Amino acid sequence: MKLIYIAGPYRAPTTWGIAENIHAARMAGAMVAQLGAYPVIPHSNTAHMDGIASDDLWLSGTLELMRRCDGVILIPGWKRSTGSKNEHAEAIRLGLPVFEWDEGRLGGGVGSFLRGLK
């Protein structure tokens, strides 16, 4: 089973914005699952745990999760997220395949990539 990490913004100015970010990550994760890979969705793993620990714990922990995955999908808004930009840079450094999810569609041949991972 291959693991695909979903990277995108979590934090937002409002709790509604956070919920929207979590939903966007889950939608991308659902598409990954439909293609036969296991989505690693850090947004869901630590949803609404804000203030329990430092941002550094969450950001370092999610980077470690990503390092153990076989590929990364970037969801809309990732370029305005410090954590997602760091995840993108680390994925590139590690040579992980990186794909962008745009309005419910995965680009860059991700379907072929995921089918090839089985």
pTM of the model: 0.87
Give the pLDDT of residue 109: 63
Q: pLDDT tens string for the chain (118 positions)?
A: 899 999 999 989 999 999 999 999 999 999 899 888 999 999 887 777 777 888 888 888 999 999 999 999 999 999 999 999 999 999 999 999 999 877 656 655 666 666 665 5
Tell me the backbone φ, ψ of residue 81, rounded to 5 degrees.
-110, 120
The residue among 51, 50, 94, 67 whose CA lies nearest residue 7 is 67
Q: Look up the domain containing 19 and give its range.
A: 3-117
Which CATH number goes with the domain that contains 68? 3.40.50.10400
Give the pLDDT of residue 111: 65
User: How many CB atoms are located within 10 Å of the residue 101 CB?
Assistant: 25
**Count: domains in the chain:** 1
Whole-number Å distance between alpha carbons of 25 and 42: 9
Whole-number Å distance between alpha carbons of 32 and 4: 7
Give the pLDDT of residue 110: 64
